[in-house]
Chain A
Amino acid sequence: MGQTMAEALLANASGTDHVSPGDHVVCEVDLTMTQDIHTPGVVHLLEEMGVSELHDASSLVVVLDHVGPSHTVNNADEKVGIRAFVRDHPDAHFYDVGTGISHEVLPEKGHVRPGELIVGTDSHTVSHGAFGAASTGIGDTDMAYALATGQAWFRVPETIEFVVAGSFGDRVSAKDLLLHIAGEFGTDVARYKAIEFRGPTVEALPIDDRITLTNMSIELGAKFGFTPVDDVVTDYVEARTDEPFEVFHAEDATYSESHRIDVSDLEPQVALPHDVGNVHPISDVDPVEVDQVFLGSCTNGKFEDLAAAAAILDGHEVAPMTRFIVTPASREIYGRAERAGIIRTFTDAGATVTNSTCGACPGLGMGVIGEGERCLAAQNRNFRGRMGHNDSEIYLASPETAAATAITGRVTDPREV
């Protein structure tokens, strides 16, 4: 009997041959991740449970990514507590401020492998579906439980597939595809479900662009998001870890919904405030002025994202009265971008390049916007007040559209600069 990626991976993690959508299973977790926002709460819950020794500290990765470097005493004190916890559990892996955003750091450091079950205290943990892992976000209590016992429960989700064909036009990319899906199918199309992005267009994408799709699966409500596990994935993983892994594929699977999309005529897409599903092709969007442009986050702070934006920005200057904030998703990406001349392109144009952090995206670091301000952001969410003042606006778009908008100071089609 056929199985989807979610079914194959949850069956494996729960030690059974076969599971079906709607089944509830108890799984052994392969990898756990906590970031700075949630580690203090998890530590507190472990104390409440009377757990001083973790089930398997070596499977825990702690990444300080949301706020860094600290800008309040309260936040600095929280990190003091996190570092004390890490010292108490020397087998745990720890990446301090500046290493990068957890969803980028984990695969870079070789912690993510196909076939694994991964849970993290961040909703964008779904990103690792690009590596063939069943990977999803959980809350503090579920995490404390997983650290104490090595276990988590799951309801086996139905899976929907998006089969994508056609070639992206000039300066149109994976972000535009995902926003198009959010606009066309709604932000709860995959609620309680898994998504498999398939087809020749997805297979042709580099890993960075595949992560953009899996990363924003949560914006479609999904528990897991997957892209194909092929040589692109296994070559990446084998270059980062010597640990063995098992590759699972969907075979003769039954999908609860199947949607076919051709991207050949897809325009750059923009999500207007304050809803990720409020998406319009850029030719229908007013060229409103923006106070800030942000290129970064776990969605679009990757090397390919920076390279695409820099190619457009090269030789131009950021518009007066517009701030362009660029945040590479990891120190490794920052270094690659520096060696490739990309960082220089940004700074020469007048952009502000920051250390690697979640930063502006959740309104927790450099790049908070004030009353009445408008930001076009290559990130994942545009909820009211997310980046700062409740009376501010966030437009979501691709790295290409961000670069074009930074040049003109108003929402701009990247094909027109």
Chain B
Amino acid sequence: MAFEGAAHTFGDDVNTDYITPSDYFGQSYEEIATHLFEPIDPGFFERFEPGDVVVAGENFGSGSSRETAPKTLKVAGVSAVVAESFARLFYRNGIAIGLPVVTCPGVTAIVSGGDEVSLDLERRTFTNETTDETRDTEPMPAEIRSIFDAGGLLAHYEQHPDGLVLD
């Protein structure tokens, strides 16, 4: 799997309330998507194009267990979230719904907002196409890769209705 798109950059500790504010709970994912990152980047949705990549610092997705955060990013068309590190619940939810959540130490040092970036999940590389700088990404644990590769937990369940099988 490989992706290419414009980067939208964020700092450390972007929590789930910042990704999908609770004011819009109960509305459709498409509607909530128009409010993505509203508390910290109110113009995000206007600048965003489906296929773009979210690039962030440490501890992305801290806070709530709400799957609304990764789900809305996916529904909006974010192709991947690349971060220095992730909060565990966001990472876990990303795997469960099949949103590429990629840990890439040093990524924030080589990307500015608007740069064209590419991501190759197989080669485990992240490249800033604008500046031609590359960083290695961390591998997704093999045991849960099969869940992600199936497209998420629901698709995995269709293939293995008798229970969870980890590689």
Contact = CB atoms under 8 A, between A and B. Distances in A.
B25 A221 contact: no
A122 B16 CA distance: 12
Contacts of A153: 143-144, 147, 164, 166
A161 B65 CA distance: 24
A76 to B, nearest CB: 11
Interface string B116-152: 0000000000000000000000000101100100001
A241 interface: no
B17 A45 contact: no
Given A24-B144, A381-B63, 6 more contacts: A49-B157, A78-B26, A139-B92, A151-B163, A384-B17, A390-B39
Given A384-B39, A390-B38, A142 B17 contact: no
Interface residues of A, number: 48
Contacts of A49: 154, 157-158
B58 interface: yes
Given A144-B154, A383-B63, A188 B85 contact: yes
A363 B93 CA distance: 23
Interface in B69-119: 70, 85, 87-89, 92-93, 96-97
B89 A139 contact: yes
Interface in A10-25: 24-25
Given A24-B143, A383-B18, A390-B38, A141 B164 contact: no
A122 B64 CA distance: 7
9 contacts: A24-B141, A139-B89, A139-B96, A141-B67, A145-B164, A155-B144, A191-B85, A381-B17, A384-B17
Give the bracket for the number of chain B residues in contact with chain A.
35 or more
Interface of B: 13, 15, 17-18, 21-23, 25-26, 38-40, 58-59, 62-68, 70, 85, 87-89, 92-93, 96-97, 141, 143-144, 147, 152-154, 157-158, 163-166
Interface in A108-123: 120-123
Contact of B18 (A155, A188, A192, A384): A384
Interface of A: 24-26, 37-38, 41, 45, 48-49, 72, 74-75, 78, 120-123, 125, 137-142, 144-145, 148-149, 151-153, 155, 187-188, 191-192, 221, 223, 275, 362-364, 381, 383-386, 390
B89 A123 contact: yes
A195 to B, nearest CB: 13
B100 to A, nearest CB: 16
Nearest to A380: B63
A122 B65 CA distance: 5
A142 B153 contact: yes
A38 B18 contact: no
B163 to A, nearest CB: 6
Nearest to A77: B26
Contacts of B58: 188
Nearest to A121: B65
Given A141-B67, A141-B93, A37 B164 contact: no
B38 A188 contact: no
B59 A187 contact: yes
A367 to B, nearest CB: 13
Contacts of A140: 67
A417 to B, nearest CB: 32
B96 A188 contact: no
Given A139-B92, A145-B153, A384 B164 contact: no
B36 to A, nearest CB: 14
A141 B152 contact: yes
A50 to B, nearest CB: 9
Contact of A384 (B40, B65, B70): B40
A191 B59 contact: yes
A149 B153 CA distance: 12
Nearest to B12: A188
B64 A123 contact: yes
Nearest to A384: B39
A254 B103 CA distance: 27
Contacts of B13: 187-188, 275
A121 to B, nearest CB: 6
Contacts of A145: 96, 153-154, 157, 164
Nearest to B162: A149
B93 A142 contact: yes
Contact of A149 (B18, B63, B152, B164): B164
B87 A191 contact: yes
Nearest to A388: B23
Contact of B65 (A26, A123, A383, A386): A123
